[in-house]
A and B are shown apart, each in its own frame.
With several copies, the nearest count.
Chain A
Amino acid sequence: MMKLFIDETRCKGCNICTMVCPYSIFTPGDTPNRRGIYVPVLDRPERCTNCRLTYLYGRQLCGVCSMICPDQAISWIADEPYSARCVVIEY
């Protein structure tokens, strides 16, 4: 499993990620960090196709947020598998 990760030292709070994710996983942040940046927050990131299925298919499956993030702030890091739970997928 992988885990979505926003690098706060890089994110400049442009919110482009919030516009492109098909699952609306990113939502605009509402508190500035120490650098005065409103970093987006993740809403149930386990819904992300990439997180769920990259290992399964052995290749990147979506990655649009990471590709479009102009500040190289979005990536995935390895994570222990989520424990089974009901995930509601909103199309």
Chain B
Amino acid sequence: MTRDDWYRHDRLPHIYCSGCGNGSIINCVLEAVSDIGWNIDETVFISGIGCSSRAPGYIQTDSLHTTHGRAIAFATGVKLANPDLHIVIFTGDGDLGAIGGNHFIHACRRNIDLTVICINNYIYGMTGGQGSPLTPYGKKSTTTPYGACEMPFDLCNLAVAAGANYVSRWTSYHVTELTKAVTAGLLTEGFSFIEVISQCPTSYGRRNSLREVSDQILYLKNNAVLHQRWKRMQEKGEDLSSDQFVVGEFIRQSRPSMGVSR
């Protein structure tokens, strides 16, 4: 089976805006599952609510489009009740980082065998552009009209601190690297977390002087700093610019995990 066979073609084209990064990310995830060769009957996609969380609806498997923020909690039940199922979660910076934060850190702690793809577009896309806990300091949204005055989370740091077995970050531009990271996450026992920074031209870009889709793509391309390089920068006492972010793999370990099929 190829990536294309995993799509629910009768639901395409999807509802995403033109230039939205979500579609690229779904491609990468499906590429990874088809590469690994998971059985489509035994793979379940689960999500919360948001543009990003609509992803499972376009995939030809059993899927659970749940309530806002709760995908991981639902998935925990699915996985523990049937550890033979492979479970991938699609979520957003709002769904996971705001309302769903608790389920997130608890899943990391339990190291339950799930893979979470968090599409971080810095904004609540679905509801029209409110700030999220990932909206960078100073950036505009409909609920931060004067610029966000709260510091954002670093979800990867949080996942590491909470105990996840696999953590990495890429962007919707880095499709090749992302596909590899997702593959690694899927194959790691325990909880895997992949944050994907993505463009939302409709609700984020146009409010933050990234008018065109291409501006956002270039932003992702130019501001991604490789984990290894960041380490070297730190050693030299250098700091990231306010737009830069670190990409790469942050941890891969094997703390005790739950729900692993034997």
Which of B13, B31, B218 interacts with A9 by CB under 8 Å?
B13
Complex CA–CA separation, A9 to B11 (angstroms): 12
B27 and A72 contacting across the interface, CB-CB below 8 Å: yes
Q: Please tell me if the beta carbons of A12 and B13 are within 8 angstroms of each other in the complex.
A: yes
Closest beta carbon of chain B to A86's beta carbon, Å: 30
**B62 located at the interface, meaning its Cβ lies under 8 Å from any Cβ of chain A in the complex:** no
Within 8 A of A (CB), among B198-220: 213-214, 217-218
Residues on B with C-beta less than 8 A from A66 are 27
Are A14 and B19 in contact (CB-based, < 8 A)?
Answer: yes
Answer yes or no: B16 CB below 8 A from chain A CBs: yes
A64's partner among B17, B175, B217 (CB-CB below 8 A) is: B175
Contact with A along B6-39 (1 / 0, CB 8 A): 0100001110111111111001100100000000
Q: A residues 12-71 with Cβ under 8 Å of B?
A: 12-16, 19-20, 37, 64, 66-71
Q: Among the listed A15, A19, A71, A75, which residue makes an inter-chain contact with B23, where contact means beta carbons less than 8 Å apart?
A: A71
Instruction: With both chains docked as a complex, state the minimum distance between the C-beta of A30 and any C-beta of chain B, in angstroms.
Output: 16
B13 near A10 with CB under 8 A, answer: yes
- Determine the residue in chain B with the shortest Cβ distance to A38: B18
A16 to B23, alpha carbons, bound, how many Å? 12
Interface string of B133-151 (1 = CB under 8 A from A): 0000000000000000000
A70–B214 contact, CB under 8 A? no
Task: Determine whether B5 belongs to the interface, using a CB cutoff of 8 Å to chain A.
Answer: no
CB distance from B221 to the nearest CB of A (A): 9
Known contacts A64-B175, A64-B176, A75-B4; A70 and B16 CB within 8 A of each other: yes
For the complex, what is the distance from the CA of A75 to the CA of B28, rounded to whole Å?
A: 14
Tell whether, in the assembled complex, residue A67 and residue B173 are in contact, meaning their CB atoms are under 8 Å apart: no
A-B contact count (CB 8 A): 66
> Count of chain B residues with Cβ under 8 Å from any Cβ of A?
26
Asked if B179 lies at the interface with its beta carbon under 8 angstroms from chain A, I say yes
Over the window 73-102 of chain B, the binary record of Cβ atoms lying under 8 Å from chain A Cβ atoms (1 yes, 0 no) is 000000000000000000000000000000
Given A69-B24, A72-B12, A14 contacting B213 (CB threshold 8 A)? yes
Contact B27 A68 (CB under 8 A): yes
Q: How many angstroms between the C-alpha atoms of A59 and B179 in the bound complex?
A: 16
List A contacts of B17 (CB < 8 A). 12
Contact residues in B for A9 (Cβ distance below 8 Å): 13
Query: By CB atoms of chain A within 10 A, which of B4, B24, B28, B173 has the most?
Result: B24
- A19 and B12 within 8 A (CB): no
Contact present for A68 and B24 (CB under 8 Å):
yes
Residues of A within 8 A of B214 (CB): 15-16, 19
A67 close to B213 (CB less than 8 A): no
Contact B179 A71 (CB under 8 A): no
Say how far B226's CB is from chain A's closest CB, in angstroms. 19
B27: A residues at CB distance < 8 A:
66-70, 72
Q: Enumerate 24 A-B pairs (CB-CB under 8 Å) in ascending A order.
A: A9-B13, A10-B13, A14-B19, A14-B20, A14-B213, A15-B214, A16-B214, A19-B214, A19-B217, A19-B218, A64-B176, A67-B24, A67-B175, A67-B179, A69-B24, A70-B19, A70-B20, A70-B24, A71-B14, A72-B7, A72-B13, A72-B14, A72-B27, A75-B4
